[in-house]
Each structure stands twice: as structure tokens, then as C-alpha cells.
């Protein structure tokens, strides 16, 4: 059984699942290599326009690093050179990823969520960076991404106390885009959001995402303008740039080529 599965679904969407429910979907070497392979596969597939990442089962999205692996001296297997922790948190991706949080996302699980672009979560989900409980730190981006995603003082409290943030409060802070009452409706809600993205011009989506990701990166106004100009030029040179207006005039749905 693969620790990570990839399903290509209708509507130009892929569903990636961390499939270790018996270990609360904790990250081991198989998960890290599996997620890296999932990124490779979805990036290479021009038919995929949006990706949903979730965990198997009803209890946990991801419990973070598998501490049994770490204690056995296999901690280095939990990261890859290109992607960092879980083969994912630092990996460059041109397509939008949506975290579908089906339960607790703690430690590295929260860092996986923060590495995604959008978040759909069930009400019983929770987030947190409890590494200090074990004398560790959240070294996979959580220490600086969480204060960017929610009010900094709330993030600092979570980081220093090892506390948890429930999904409803996370939704209020804007970390969660869409809140789902029950786990049974999570997949449908996440795939619906992915579908809303996938119906749009693929080149325009990718280039818009490239610029928007840099909004809080520290780039100054001039650099952001230059990045936006470059993105516009790439879109204007695409076949989709002509197809969008043509479809509007002809009163039909666009037939995007993604080129």
C-alpha cells in the first residue's frame, strides 16, 4: 500500500491523500517521497489545474513527523532536498493546492497546511505547533508562516504554549477559507473549491498565484510591479489570452489549452 495516493478526477482536479490513518497520517520516509512524487506528477500533468491534499480517515489530517522514525535515527528520511519536510513544505509549485483538513493538523501537519494555498476544514479540526512540548521547534516553516496567516500575537501564543487553535476560530482569523460541518462533506467541499479554480484560464491562474504568493515576501513595490508585469506578459503571450474574449463574444464556455 502506498503511503500517498494520487487520484485524477474529472474537472482537471487531483486529490492527493496521505494514507497512514493507523499512524494519524504522520510523516515517515514513504510519505515524504510520496508527496514529492505527487508534486512531480501534478506539475507535469497539463490536465491538472488544482490539487486537493488531505489525510485518510476521520481523526487526523497529519500528526506531523513520525517520532518513532526520528527516535530510530531515520529522521533525515522525513525530508527531501527539493521539498524539505515531507517533500512538500518548501517545494515550488505552479498550481494551487488546497488543504482539506479532516481532523487534527498538528506540528508538521500544520506546516503542511501552511504550505498550501487555501484551506477547507471540518469543525472538529484543530491546528497547532506543539514542538516545544518535546524540546523541539517547528523548523518546517511554521514559525514564520503561522504569524503571517493569523494575528501574530495569537500565533506566538500557540507557538510558545503548544496550544491548539480550533477550526472555527481559525476560520474567523482567515486561516480556513471554508468550514464544513462534518467529515462526510469535506471532500465534496474541497473539490468544489478546486473546481471553481479549475474552470478559469490555467495560465492566468498560475501567473496570478505566482504574484500573490509574493505579496508578503518582503519584496518592495517596484519588485512586485515588475513581477506583475512579467506575469501579464506571460499571460498575454498565451493561447488562453485569445480564447477568453473569443468565448465571451461567442457566448460559450472557454476551451482552455493551458498554453
The model's pLDDT over 44-66, given as tens digits with 9 standing for 90+, comes to 999 999 999 999 999 999 999 99
Among this protein's residues, is 131 annotated catalytic?
A: yes
- C-alpha 198/C-alpha 52 separation (Å) is 12
The yes-or-no verdict on residue 150 having pLDDT over 80 is yes
Per-residue model confidence (pLDDT) at position 154: 98
**pLDDT tier at 1, thresholds 50, 70, 90:** low
Q: What's the rounded mean pLDDT across residues 74-82?
A: 94
Per-residue model confidence (pLDDT) at position 70: 86
Q: What's the rounded mean pLDDT across residues 175-192?
A: 97
Q: What's the rounded mean pLDDT across residues 148-174?
A: 98
Provide the mean pLDDT of the chain: 96
Q: Which of 131, 157, 233, 250 is catalytic?
A: 131
Per-residue model confidence (pLDDT) at position 222: 97
The model's pLDDT over 12-32, given as tens digits with 9 standing for 90+, comes to 999 999 999 999 999 999 999
**pLDDT tier at 139, thresholds 50, 70, 90:** very high
Among this protein's residues, is 221 annotated catalytic?
A: no
Name, of 131-135, 194-198, 245-249, 253-257, the range with top average pLDDT.
194-198
Q: Which of 111, 214, 243, 250 is catalytic?
A: 111
Per-residue model confidence (pLDDT) at position 77: 94
The model's pLDDT over 83-96, given as tens digits with 9 standing for 90+, comes to 999 999 999 999 99
Amino acid at each position: 500500500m502506498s503511503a500517498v495516493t494520487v487520484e485524477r478526477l474529472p474537472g482537471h482536479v487531483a486529490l492527493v491523500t496521505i494514507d497512514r490513518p493507523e499512524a494519524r497520517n504522520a510523516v515517515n520516509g514513504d510519505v515524504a517521497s510520496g508527496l514529492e512524487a505527487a508534486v512531480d506528477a501534478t506539475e507535469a500533468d497539463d490536465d491538472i489545474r488544482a490539487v486537493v491534499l488531505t489525510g485518510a480517515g476521520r481523526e487526523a489530517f497529519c500528526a506531523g513527523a513520525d517520532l518513532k522514525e526520528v527516535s530510530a535515527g531515520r529522521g533525515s528520511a522525513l525530508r527531501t532536498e527539493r521539498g524539505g519536510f515531507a517533500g512538500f513544505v518548501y517545494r515550488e509549485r505552479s498550481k494551487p493546492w488546497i488543504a482539506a483538513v479532516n481532523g487534527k493538523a498538528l506540528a508538521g501537519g500544520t506546516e503542511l497546511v501552511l504550505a498550501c494555498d487555501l484551506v477547507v476544514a471540518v469543525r472538529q479540526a484543530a491546528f497547532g505547533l506543539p514542538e516545544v512540548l518535546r524540546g523541539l521547534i517547528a523548523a518546517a516553516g511554521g514559525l514564520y508562516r503561522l504569524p503571517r496567516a493569523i494575528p501574530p500575537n495569537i500565533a506566538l501564543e500557540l507557538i510558545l504554549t503548544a496550544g491548539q487553535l480550533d477550526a472555527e476560530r481559525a476560520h474567523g482569523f482567515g486561516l480556513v477559507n471554508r468550514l464544513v460541518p462534518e467529515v462526510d462533506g469535506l471532500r465534496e467541499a474541497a473539490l468544489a473549491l478546486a473546481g471553481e479554480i479549475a474552470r478559469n484560464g490555467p495560465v492566468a491562474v498560475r501567473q496570478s498565484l505566482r504574484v500573490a504568493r509574493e505579496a508578503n515576501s518582503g519584496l518592495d513595490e517596484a519588485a512586485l510591479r515588475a513581477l506583475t508585469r512579467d506575469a501579464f506578459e506571460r499571460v498575454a503571450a498565451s493561447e488562453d489570452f485569445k480564447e477568453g474574449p473569443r468565448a465571451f463574444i461567442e457566448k460559450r464556455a472557454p476551451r482552455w489549452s493551458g498554453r
